[in-house]
């Protein structure tokens, strides 16, 4: 039998509330227990429930059923008949299979039951994190594939949001430190240019840590990101030690008056251009007070500006006293996706500049 787990959730399908199930899934995942199958059934559809449980028999070593109080006893009786054996609390142990019935209506009981199930299905694990920005799904999958070839007993929990990716590596504690080091070196070797942290920390927090370590201050000039970078930074406790200022120069006039962007630059190249992003950074550095500066200008959509430039075209500038660089991106997605991705790319650009 495959050593896999499944979760069957019985719910009222007229009520779209997945919070209890999602919190349970997260709790299990935090302890290295994952579900290869999650199925939702109507709590009052006995045929659907019977079909689902029968399909799981013989295919999964761990079957967890999350159900309302009113169905607990019936499910236990059905499971005892189908698998053989008797329930002890929430657990029924059959040959090669563990069946667990958890009452979704009892919050305290649900917590205790989850801990019991985790102890039955779980394992002693170690975990480490690698956080990246800008790595494509293909690049990340290739890096993980290499590690799986080296250590097939490792599990991976990958979450990506607006190009900011967290890779959680879960491994048995029986794995020696030398083997863990090999896993780490393999991933870092494949993803090095995209990595900003090897711990579970946010991008803004990591940038703050580095700014504090270097004893330098940062300033930000934003156009289409509308203060999003500044917001991320000021959410970090202690940021006042390293954050000098943030300006939201949305209009061309503001770019000229506040940052010194030349009118001829705006006329010849437009607000969304490499030259404008460069001069925005230059303006921040020239005013003093900061050691590193970042700028953003672009078109987030849903429509383009008065030019023929496409939605998703953005420029991110970053600079210090030793020079300024600008990177062009052509992003895809809706307005929020383009904006939030640009914020992450800008924070990462600052991190790389001072790393």
Q: What are the DSSP calls for 225-240, one per residue?
A: TTTHHHHHHHTSTTGG
The three-class DSSP label of residue 1 is: coil
- The domain spanning residue 77 has which CATH number? 3.40.980.10
CA–CA separation, 239 and 291 (whole Å):
15
pLDDT at residue number 311: 96
Specify if 187 maps to a domain. Answer: yes
Does 132 share its domain with 107? no
Residue 303, C-beta contacts closer than 8 angstroms, at least 6 positions apart:
311
Does 262 share its domain with 296? yes
Does 117 share its domain with 129? no
The pLDDT tens digits along the chain (355 residues) read 446 899 999 998 888 889 999 999 988 987 878 899 999 999 999 999 999 999 999 889 899 999 999 999 999 999 999 999 899 999 998 887 899 999 999 999 999 999 999 888 876 678 899 999 999 999 999 999 999 998 888 888 899 999 999 999 988 877 888 988 999 999 999 999 999 999 999 999 999 999 999 999 999 999 999 999 999 999 999 999 999 999 999 999 999 999 999 999 999 999 999 999 999 999 999 998 999 999 999 999 988 777 889 999 999 999 999 999 999 999 999 999 999 999 999 999 999 999 9
CA 180 to chain centre: 23
CA 132 to chain centre: 10
Specify if 203 maps to a domain. Answer: no
Specify if 137 maps to a domain. Answer: yes
The three-class DSSP label of residue 152 is: coil
Torsion from C-alpha of 32, 38, 44, 47, nearest 10 degrees: -120
- pTM (two decimals): 0.75
Specify if 208 maps to a domain. Answer: no
Specify if 288 maps to a domain. Answer: yes
* Structural domain boundaries, residue 155: 125-197
Number of domains forming the structure of the chain: 3
H/E element, 324: strand 323-330
Last residue of a domain, one of 121, 136, 153: 121
Does 168 share its domain with 115? no
Does 271 share its domain with 289? yes
Does 100 share its domain with 133? no
H/E element, 38: strand 37-42
Does 40 share its domain with 145? no
The three-class DSSP label of residue 23 is: helix
Rg of the chain taking only CA atoms, in angstroms: 26
**Which of 92-123 are b and which e, b meaning 16 or more Cβ less than 10 Å from the residue's Cβ?**
bbeeebbbbbbbbeeeeebeebbebbbeebee
Specify if 326 maps to a domain. Answer: yes
Beta bridge partners of 293: 219, 319
Does 220 share its domain with 345? yes
DSSP 163: T
pLDDT at residue number 1: 43
Last residue of a domain, one of 74, 96, 121: 121
Last residue of a domain, one of 96, 121, 146: 121
Does 129 share its domain with 116? no
Does 78 share its domain with 157? no
Specify if 206 maps to a domain. Answer: no
Query: Tokens 């672009």 appear where?
Result: 298
- The domain spanning residue 308 has which CATH number? 3.90.950.20
Specify if 204 maps to a domain. Answer: no
Does 96 share its domain with 151? no
Count other Cβ atoms within 10 Å, centred on residue 32: 20
Query: Tokens 């295919």 appear where?
Result: 59
Whole-number Cα distances in Å, 320 to 58, 289, 292: 62, 12, 5
Does 242 share its domain with 300? yes
- The domain spanning residue 150 has which CATH number? 3.30.70.600
Q: What are the DSSP calls for 46-82, one per residue?
A: HHHHHHHHHHHTTT-SEEEEEE-HHHHHHHHHHHHHH
């Amino acid at each position: 039998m495959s050593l896999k787990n499944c979760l069957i959730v019985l719910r009222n399908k007229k009520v779209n509330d997945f919070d209890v199930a999602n919190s349970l899934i997260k709790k299990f995942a935090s302890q290295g227990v994952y579900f290869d199958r999650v199925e939702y059934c109507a709590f009052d559809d006995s045929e659907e429930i019977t079909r689902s449980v029968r399909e799981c028999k013989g295919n999964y070593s761990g079957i967890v059923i999350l159900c309302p109080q009113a169905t607990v006893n019936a499910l236990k009786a059905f499971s005892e008949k189908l698998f053989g054996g008797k329930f002890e609390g929430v657990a029924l142990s059959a040959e090669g299979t563990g069946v667990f019935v958890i009452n979704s209506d009892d919050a305290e009981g649900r917590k205790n039951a989850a801990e019991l199930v985790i102890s039955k299905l779980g394992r002693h694990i170690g975990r480490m994190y690698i956080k990246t920005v800008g790595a494509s799904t293909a690049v990340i999958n290739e890096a993980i594939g290499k590690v799986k070839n080296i250590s097939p007993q490792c599990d991976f929990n990958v979450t990506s949001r607006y190009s900011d990716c967290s890779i959680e590596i879960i491994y048995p504690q029986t794995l020696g430190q030398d083997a863990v080091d090999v896993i780490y070196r393999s991933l870092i070797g494949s993803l090095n240019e995209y990595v900003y942290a090897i711990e579970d920390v946010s991008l803004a927090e990591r940038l703050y840590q580095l700014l504090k370590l270097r004893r330098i201050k940062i300033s930000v000039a934003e156009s289409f990101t509308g203060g999003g970078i500044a917001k991320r930074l000021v959410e970090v406790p202690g940021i006042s030690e390293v954050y000098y200022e943030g300006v939201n120069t949305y209009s061309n006039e503001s770019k000229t008056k506040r940052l010194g962007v030349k009118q001829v630059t705006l006329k010849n190249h437009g607000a969304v251009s490499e030259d404008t992003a460069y001069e925005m950074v230059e303006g921040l550095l020239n005013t003093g007070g900061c050691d590193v500066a970042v700028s953003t200008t672009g078109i987030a959509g849903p429509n383009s500006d008065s030019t023929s430039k496409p939605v998703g075209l953005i420029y991110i500038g970053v600079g210090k006293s030793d020079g300024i660089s600008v990177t062009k991106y052509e992003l895809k997605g809706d307005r929020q996706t383009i904006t939030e991705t640009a914020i992450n790319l800008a924070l990462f650009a600052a991190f790389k500049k001072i790393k």
